[in-house]
Amino acid sequence: MRALVEVAQIVAGLMLAAIVIINVLNVTGRYVFLKPIDWAEEVMLFLMIAAVFLSNIGITLDGAHIRMDVLLRFLPPLGRRMMDWLADLLTIGVAVTLAWVGLDVVSKLAEFGQTSDAAGIPVAIPQSVIPLSFALTALALIVRMAGGGPPAPAAEGEDA
């Protein structure tokens, strides 16, 4: 799983680098040559969304996501652990559901042959990152839970 996360993070990083390159080229084209790149904004948006969703896999595996744990800090360790497991199980359920529904949407987009307006990219391609990332996020969470999960939040007065 760690190797898969590293690949996803590298791909996300390359996507962010591509966004910077496309943006520099577009700004140069727009203000120096008075000819912007028509598809730049659309492709940068697709790349940014994909990078965010791919990054979520590693964040989930590491338990590094932002969470509201103020009330959990007042629970005893067993209560915190039980709430962590409940939250993880609910997250897996939501991620699997979104992956399943997203896969249906992507298959319909592919069936209809819908393309993006400016770049003419088949919309199913960038949209497929969403169900893929939710499926891998659920898998990462299962792997993390099998390994004991993230540490419980610190109790009031303890260092986090």
**DSSP codes joined into one string, 81-92:** HHHHHHHHHHHH
Q: Cβ neighbours of residue 116 under 8 Å, at least 6 residues apart?
A: 39, 42, 46, 123, 126
57 located within any domain:
yes
Q: How many angstroms separate the CA atoms of 114 and 123, rounded?
A: 6
Q: How many angstroms separate the CA atoms of 152 and 77, rounded?
A: 7
Helix pair 129-146, 77-112: axis angle to 10 deg:
160
Residue 143: which of 88, 78, 64, 94 has the closest Cα? 88
pLDDT at 42: 96
pLDDT tens digit sequence for 123-147: 999 999 999 999 999 999 999 999 8
Which residue range is the domain that position 14 belongs to?
2-65+75-146
pLDDT at 151: 52
3-state helix, strand, coil in the chain (%, to 5): 70, 0, 30
Q: How many angstroms separate the CA atoms of 56 and 9, rounded?
A: 9
pLDDT at 147: 85
- Whether 39 contacts 118, CB under 8 Å: yes
pLDDT at 150: 60
52 located within any domain:
yes
83 located within any domain:
yes
Q: How many domains does the chain have?
A: 1
pLDDT at 159: 46
16 located within any domain:
yes
